[in-house]
Amino acid sequence: MSVHPGDMDEFLNGRSLLSRPFWAGCFEGMLRLQQCGRCQLNSFVPRLNCQHCGASELAWTEVDRTGSLLTFSTVFMAPPRFREFVPYTVGIANFGGAQLFGVVAGERPYCEGPVVFVSGRDAAQALGPIPVPFGFALA
């Protein structure tokens, strides 16, 4: 099951207009986050106002795809769509000051360990058969 169709328009179909720059970056193998023009902090999930200071001057910026794993958990009891993939690991990672949740690929993850944001066609290669559009590979 692929979550990465070959056409960007198909990939973006159904995504909110507010989040499309993030998803377009995923399609292209980049990590784009909103950065506040007032406090300069990055944030995720896409929103109209800065989650840190409330300013409305948010712009999309490409950030380094290398981050650090903050926490993780191995899933043994999954929802129906993901049962065939158990066990698998999910985690929260910090990228440029923003925290993202995703599937973690690799053996023996550890907290504060380096991870790389993978998306697009790289996600299928790094994350295996799990049908998600992005995740984290141990660096």
Cβ(69)–Cβ(110) under 8 Å? yes
Element (H, E) at 63: strand 58-63
If asked whether residues 73 and 58 sit together in one domain, one would say no
Average pLDDT, stretch 9-28?
87
Exposure of 115 in the CB half-sphere (CA atoms within 13 A):
37
**Amino acid 12: pLDDT:** 78
Same structural domain, 79 and 54: no
Name the pLDDT band for 4 (thresholds 50, 70, 90).
Answer: low
Asked whether residue 55 is assigned to any structural domain, the reply reads yes
Instruction: Pick the last residue of a domain from 16, 48, 63.
Output: 63
| In a domain? residue 39 | yes
> Mean pLDDT across the chain, nearest whole number?
92
50 and 87, same structural domain?
no
The average pLDDT across 31-49 equals 96
Higher pLDDT, 5 or 77: 77
CA distance 52 to 124: 33
Are residues 12 and 46 located together in one domain of the fold?
yes
Same domain, yes or no, for 73 and 134?
yes
Burial class of residue 50, CB neighbours in 10 A (0-12, 13-18, 19+): buried
The residue range of the domain holding 24 is 8-63
Residue after which a domain boundary falls, among 28, 45, 63: 63
The predicted model scores a pTM of 0.89
Q: Is the pLDDT of residue 37 over 80?
A: yes
Are residues 53 and 109 located together in one domain of the fold?
no
Q: What is the pLDDT of residues 42-75, one digit of tens each?
A: 999 999 999 999 999 999 999 999 999 999 999 9
Domain shared by 89 and 118, yes or no: yes
Total number of domains constituting the chain: 2
